[in-house]
Amino acid sequence: MAGHRRDGAPGAVTDPDPRTTPDRPTIPPVDEAAERAALQRQPTLTKPPGSLGRLEDLAVALAGVTGDSRPDLADATVVVAAGDHGVVDRGVSAYPQAATRAMLENFLHGGAAVNAIADAVGAETLVVDAGIAGDPVPGALAVRIGAGTNDASSGPAMARSDAVDAVEAGVRIADSELADADIVALGEMGIGNTTIAATITAALTDAAPAEATGHGTGIDDETLERKVAVVEDALAANGLDAEAGDPADDHDPLDVLARVGGFEIGVLAGVALGCAADRTPVVVDGVITGAAALLADAVDPSVRPFLLPSHAGAEPAHAIQLDALDLEPLFEYDLRLGEGTGACLALPIYRSACATHREMATFADIGLEDGG
């Protein structure tokens, strides 16, 4: 698998692997019978109709997704996938590339924000090394496609076979590590990956680079201008800009992933596809996991009902992603950390929606009929 950064130095992009399309799991349709049964149960519960607002809609939707008319989301896991990006050499982040490794070790030692929130909401944390620079980090689930990608602003970030490998690795994680999960939250880490997420968003939605690019790790306005220019360079260098003449709808998602990166985004897209095939709902976090969700949806639109929103992220590309995926955020806390923090915060909301739907007494149970 040549073409990515095994030793921290850019390599020529070649693709000796003839495979160009990932093995894609079959995603079932929404279970209309379970959804209908849930919808019929709602008016029988001991509350005025509609009084739990959006929680009622979430419960019905989750019934259709899971195939269970009274779903239980007891077992939750947040998947934190990490990867490095050659584009960081262009000075787009307030932090050095070494921060990716340091944070991956921090996740494993339980010292990150996502660890604290996951513990608070009763979720397991799965840390995945999808391809960070340098040697593997002991303790992380290693599905390393390479040791970081090439600089997407000067050409393809990886070979297409690497993009296929990344998505398939995510599907395997869903099949093996997440088989017992009732709901999965997506999280990530990778210095420079907000630049990559903005580029993917622009490529798949026709959003202008300046509209999709934000301050990320807290860069100043001068660095933001450089970051926008890097996104523009990445689109142009890879034939994904408006001048290439092809609308976003015509961009093959695996080609976009290969040309732009990154490994962790491809893995998370595969996780979403694999979880959907098993009727496991997937909670999207911020702008990086939003890019993964966009890619998964472009690979197979059948995944869309299984993608659940969490927060309205502070990065501008996140609003573009949510709109493209028809996802309405649950809350807005001005979050921009990533890691899966916002997705974990959403878990109690989804669990509460299901718990009220599943555990409330009906009017018949208390000797009343039709709420009278």
d(CA 289, CA 309): 11
Cα 128 to the center of its chain, rounded Å: 14
Tell me, letter by letter, the H, E, C secondary structure of 311-367: ECCCCHHHHHHHHHCCCCCCECCCCCCCCCHHHHHHHHHHHHHHHHHHHCCECCCCC
Residue 170: CB partners within 8 Å, gap ≥ 6? 81, 143, 266, 267, 268, 269, 270, 271, 272, 273, 274
d(CA 315, CA 287): 6
Any idea what the Cα angle at residue 146 is, between residues 81 and 252, rounded to 5°?
A: 75
d(CA 341, CA 115): 9
Residue 271: CB partners within 8 Å, gap ≥ 6? 79, 81, 170, 171, 173, 174, 178, 184, 186, 282, 292
Tokens read off for 67: 């195939």
Q: Does the annotation count 339 as an active-site position?
A: yes
Per DSSP, 27 falls in state P
Per DSSP, 60 falls in state H
Catalytic residue among 243, 339, 359, 369: 339
Best CA proximity match to 15, nearest among 270, 199, 295, 254: 254
**b (16+ CB within 10 A) / e for 68-104:** bbbbebeebbbbbbbbbbbbbebebbebebebbbebb
The β-bridge partners of 185 are 78, 283
Give catalytic residues, as residue numbers.
Answer: 339
